[in-house]
Homo-oligomer: A and B are copies of this chain.
């Protein structure tokens, strides 16, 4: 790990990663004693490694898998569900499984095809839906904290994108901890210091079976473009990616930077689902799925 000026053998690496995550959790007050923890798991390296580490650190985390109904020949969703279930069974962990089609009547690809929001790519509908379900289930099932497997590459790419256009609203909300507020469960990202390569190395060395494929729809996503840019910077200057993200967090913690940038965004409960929204009346999730369900109904009638 050039940017840490550190070279570790397998055993030391496998203990170093959890110890660093334990430190991140403490440094950023991610979890308080007695809080119930839910981990969003996709079957990929990051979320399974995170679930495992939180488990061995003693947080007794439950898992939440959301079935998206993405098939595309490779059986992406089926495989990722199987991998996740096997992992939970192996370690005796409790897994909650939610399925988008069962809950709302369409898979993500179908929903995207029926929604203006999904016209170019399903990613926007997918993200909106996952965030809604995660928050909904976490609150309904009485969890205090929702952990996600976002790694340094994910976080730095989002930061880079928001910085290229100086989206100060988004910048002010970005960080490894989003406190519980106005109907949002507290969200934490304990892997934010670890690059994709580092979490993959951990999962491999730990013998965690995970799904290697990326979702086929992710190709060409902006986030992947920004990751490439940051990887170029990292290749030229090892440590640049971590420095970029950590110095942002330090700047945020200091005086005079992004003060009150969030002010003015007041949240109300959605009239339909009750979850918090900055939109007046109905939230984006309910509006989007209303469109999808109406479109599906119309299609059904046409076909009958």
Q: Given B165, B244, B263, which contacts A165 in the complex, CB threshold below 8 Å?
A: B244
- Of the stretches A60-68, A83-91, A247-255, A276-284, the one at the interface is A247-255
Contacts of A263 in B (CB 8 A): 255-256
0/1 interface trace, chain A 223-239, chain B, CB 8 Å (1 if under): 00100010011001000
| A221 to B: closest C-beta gap in Å | 14
Residue A259 CB within 8 A of the other chain: yes
Residue A163 CB within 8 A of the other chain: yes
Size class of the contact patch on chain A? 20 to 34
Q: Given B166, B240, B243, B247, which contacts A247 in the complex, CB threshold below 8 Å?
A: B166
Query: Across the interface, do A166 and B260 meet the contact criterion of CB distance under 8 Å?
Result: no
Residue A212 CB within 8 A of the other chain: no
Query: Across the interface, do A250 and B164 meet the contact criterion of CB distance under 8 Å?
Result: no
Residue A139 CB within 8 A of the other chain: no
0/1 interface trace, chain A 80-122, chain B, CB 8 Å (1 if under): 0000000000000000000000000000000000000000000
Residue A204 CB within 8 A of the other chain: no
Check A166/B251 contact, CB under 8 A, given A256-B260, A261-B257.
Answer: yes
Contacts of A258 in B (CB 8 A): 256-258
Closest to A240 in B: B164
Residues of A bordering B, CB below 8 Å: 163-168, 172, 225, 229, 232-233, 236, 240, 243-244, 247-248, 250-251, 254-263
Q: List 21 A-B contacts (CB under 8 A).
A: A163-B163, A164-B233, A164-B243, A164-B247, A165-B244, A165-B247, A166-B247, A166-B251, A167-B247, A168-B254, A172-B256, A229-B233, A254-B261, A255-B261, A256-B262, A256-B263, A257-B257, A257-B258, A257-B259, A258-B258, A259-B259
